């Protein structure tokens, strides 16, 4: 959905604009279109993954795959994303479509990012995979990545089926590309539209007519309303688009009733408010973000929701906190100012207090996100600050690990002070799993200490032992080779990724066995770094639930 290279070019201007023109800055920073020539113009995306050097692959860019079919289209080649070009090999078309159709955001950022990579990757599809590209685009919309969904459909060219046409239209409405959509596809009588059982196309045609400003549009829309071809919720919104004097009388739909078309109508009318951003369905958030009435606080809430599911980079959320800090009050404003101030001058107490506060209020998910946001500042803290800080020091260390700063976290942990045998075992487990180049040797007494804790029902220790087993560090029980572990051993990359993500996403928190199985499966298909990042997020965030 967003390109880190493009963002880095526009950030300075965007942040200056954010102080006085926050909406314009929002459009630039979050990748929302301001002026585009094509409703399907591809964008460059950079999903990335947590890495210790904090850099993304500079060679990754938007590609147009010379695909044998529309279904193979993607925003980047699978190989550039760390997947294989034959990632669908061995998977049936029916199975592929079913897996993608079932994909939905989990509570784990690292899992969401991995699924997103699989969704945007261009690769040879299975035979008889009709509808796979539409399913992938629809899944991206569910993940809040309507921009990528729009671009993915654009990469398919003109050879699209009705389902893909519908997805293209909905994505364009969400991200504000409806003018070109209306002119090229909807108001052109020569362009065939898809089935209209739910009235989507007829309502979209009415919307496009209202956008023209033609005096006859009102008559046409009134006739459509009388014929019942327009929903009763949409009718007053369309009428207000034609007659501006009605805008203040239009009832705004409840957030749960928002659709891509209603997002576009509200954008046209300038109607929306902050509660929408807090409670609206995730797919609609990108569309609400750029509305002027959303405001700076609403923009930050929207960005938090999008980052949590991997739709935008953590760097983007962090910079938005910094740029909008003076425009926001309340709890969000305090957080934004802390992010800004600690980015300039890292302060262990301020970072630790902010991490502990969100853990008490929001639990695992909130802590994980805040840890990622504060990770760069935390990584610059002098290690001497760790001595005597107790729980706060552990929170800061976990933030570094969640952000991928493994070396700094290890140095920080080394000077935290005396540890009990149980704490020593716990720290050793975390570091051994987080660091692929961990210099230590696993000790039997550490494993015994963790197992002793599991006898008392300690699920954190159980997950640590499972992760250690998954990485062949500690005792490794035999698991039945079935399900997605079997697909992994058969080399079915995409199927393994999506099935494993579905399995761990169905548990909150994940069980030790699922974590172990996922690690083994991802390692078997060459995604050991992803397995490591998922294991660390699972282990660390559950401590703060």
Q: If DSSP codes are grouped into helix, strand and coil, which group holds residue 121?
A: strand
What the block records as the tokens of 342 is: 């600690």
Residue whose token pair is 């600690």: 342
Residue 354's nearest CA partner among 370, 340, 343, 369 is 370
pLDDT of amino acid 189: 75
Which pair of tokens denotes residue 361?
């209020």
E strands, 94-252, in order: 121-122
Sorted by sequence, the CB contacts under 8 Å of residue 76 that are 6+ apart come out as: 45, 60, 61, 62, 63, 120, 121, 122
The pLDDT of residue 2 is 34
Give pLDDT tens digits for 167-197. Answer: 989 999 998 888 888 888 888 777 777 777 7
Q: The dihedral of CA 348, 350, 355, 360: what is its sign?
A: positive
* CA-closest candidate to residue 157, choices 201, 199, 115, 122: 122
Would you state the pLDDT for residue 26?
Answer: 40
Q: Please give the C-alpha separations between residue 502 and each of 121, 134, 172, 203, 494, in angstroms, as whole numbers.
A: 18, 19, 28, 35, 12
3-state secondary structure 303-329: HHHHHHCCCCCHHHHHHHHHHHHHHCC
d(CA 35, CA 31): 11
Measured between alpha carbons, how far is 155 from 285 in angstroms, rounded to an integer? 23
Q: Which residues pair with 77 in a beta bridge?
A: 122
pLDDT for position 58: 38
Please give the structure tokens belonging to residue 73. Answer: 């289209």
Per the CB < 8 A criterion, the answer to whether 352 and 360 are in contact is no
Q: How many helices (H) and strands (E) does the chain have?
A: 27, 2
Domain locations in the chain as residue ranges: 343-543
Distance CA 314, CA 372 (A): 7
What phi, psi does 76 have (nearest 5°)?
-145, 155
Structure tokens at 532: 């490591």
Token readout for 373 is 């946001």
What confidence score (pLDDT) does residue 286 get?
81
Query: How far lies 144's CA from each of 60, 174, 280, 298, in Å?
Result: 22, 10, 11, 16
pTM: 0.85
Helices 4-20/22-29 angle, 10° precision? 170
The whole-angstrom separation of Cα 369 and Cα 381 is 19
DSSP bridge partners of 95: none
Q: Is residue 174 within 8 Å of 284, Cβ to Cβ?
A: yes
pLDDT at position 12: 32
Contacting residues for 293 by C-beta, under 8 A, at least 6 apart? 270, 271, 272, 273
Residue 77: helix, strand or coil by DSSP? strand
Task: Note the Cα 132 to chain centre separation in Å.
Answer: 20
Measured CA to CA, the distance from residue 307 to residue 490 in angstroms comes to 33
What are the pLDDT tens digits along the chain (545 aa)? 333 333 333 233 333 333 333 444 444 444 433 333 344 443 434 433 333 333 333 333 444 444 457 888 888 999 999 999 999 999 999 999 999 999 999 999 999 999 999 999 999 999 889 899 999 999 999 999 999 998 898 877 665 678 888 998 999 999 888 888 888 888 877 777 777 778 898 889 889 988 887 777 778 888 877 787 788 888 889 989 988 888 888 888 888 888 999 989 988 888 765 567 888 889 888 877 656 667 888 889 999 999 999 999 999 999 999 999 999 999 999 999 999 999 999 999 999 999 999 887 766 668 999 999 999 999 999 998 888 888 899 999 999 999 999 999 999 988 887 678 888 999 999 999 999 999 889 999 999 999 999 999 999 999 999 999 999 998 888 899 999 999 999 999 999 999 999 999 999 889 999 999 999 999 999 999 999 999 999 999 888 87
DSSP-based three-state secondary structure for 190: coil
């Amino acid at each position: 959905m967003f390109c880190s290279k493009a963002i880095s070019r526009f950030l300075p201007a965007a942040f200056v604009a954010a102080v006085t023109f926050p909406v314009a800055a929002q459009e630039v920073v979050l990748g929302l279109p301001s002026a585009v020539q094509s409703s399907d113009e591809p964008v460059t995306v950079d999903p990335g993954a947590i890495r210790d050097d904090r850099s993304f692959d500079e060679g990754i860019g938007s590609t147009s795959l010379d695909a044998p079919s529309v279904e193979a289209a993607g925003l980047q080649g699978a190989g550039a994303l760390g997947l294989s070009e034959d990632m669908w090999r061995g998977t049936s078309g029916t199975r592929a479509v079913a897996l993608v159709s079932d994909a939905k955001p989990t509570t784990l950022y690292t899992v969401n990012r991995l699924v997103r990579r699989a969704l945007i990757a261009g690769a040879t599809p299975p035979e008889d995979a009709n509808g796979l590209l539409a399913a992938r685009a629809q899944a991206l919309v569910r993940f809040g990545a309507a921009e990528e969904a729009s671009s993915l459909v654009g990469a398919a060219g003109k050879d699209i089926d009705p389902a893909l046409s519908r997805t293209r239209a909905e994505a364009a409405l969400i991200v504000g590309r409806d003018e070109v959509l209306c002119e090229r596809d909807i108001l052109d009588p020569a362009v065939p539209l898809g089935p209209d059982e739910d009235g989507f196309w007829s309502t979209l045609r009415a919307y496009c007519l209202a956008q023209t400003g033609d005096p006859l549009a009102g008559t046409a829309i009134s006739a459509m309303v009388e014929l019942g071809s327009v929903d009763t919720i949409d009718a007053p919104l369309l009428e207000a688009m034609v007659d501006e004097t009605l805008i203040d009388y239009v009832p705004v739909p409840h957030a749960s009733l928002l659709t891509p078309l209603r997002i576009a109508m509200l954008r046209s009318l300038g109607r929306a408010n902050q509660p929408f951003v807090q409670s609206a369905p995730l797919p609609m958030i990108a569309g609400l973000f750029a509305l002027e009435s959303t405001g700076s606080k609403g923009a930050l809430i929207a960005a938090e929701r999008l980052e949590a599911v991997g739709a935008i980079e953590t760097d983007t959320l962090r910079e938005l906190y910094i740029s909008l800090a003076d425009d926001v009050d309340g709890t969000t404003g305090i957080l934004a100012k802390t992010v800004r101030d600690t980015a300039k001058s890292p302060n262990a107490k301020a970072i630790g207090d902010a991490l502990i506060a969100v853990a008490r209020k929001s639990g695992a998910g909130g802590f994980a996100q805040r840890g990622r946001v504060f990770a760069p500042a935390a990584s610059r803290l002098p290690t001497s600050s760790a001595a005597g800080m107790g729980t706060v020091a552990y929170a800061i260390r976990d933030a570094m690990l969640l952000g991928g700063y493994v070396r700094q976290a290890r140095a920080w942990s080394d000077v935290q002070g005396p540890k009990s045998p149980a704490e020593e075992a716990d720290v050793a487990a975390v570091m051994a799993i987080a660091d692929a180049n961990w210099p230590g040797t696993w000790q039997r007494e550490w494993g015994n200490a963790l197992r002793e804790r599991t006898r008392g029902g300690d699920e954190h220790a159980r997950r640590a032992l499972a992760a250690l087993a998954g990485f062949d560090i500690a005792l490794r029980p035999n698991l039945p080779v079935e399900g997605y572990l079997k697909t992994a051993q058969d080399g079915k990359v995409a199927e393994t990724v999506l099935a494993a993500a579905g399995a761990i996403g169905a548990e909150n928190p994940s069980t030790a066995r699922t974590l172990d199985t996922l690690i083994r499966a991802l390692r078997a298909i060459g995604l050991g770094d992803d397995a490591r990042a998922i294991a660390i997020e699972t282990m660390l965030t559950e401590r703060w639930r």
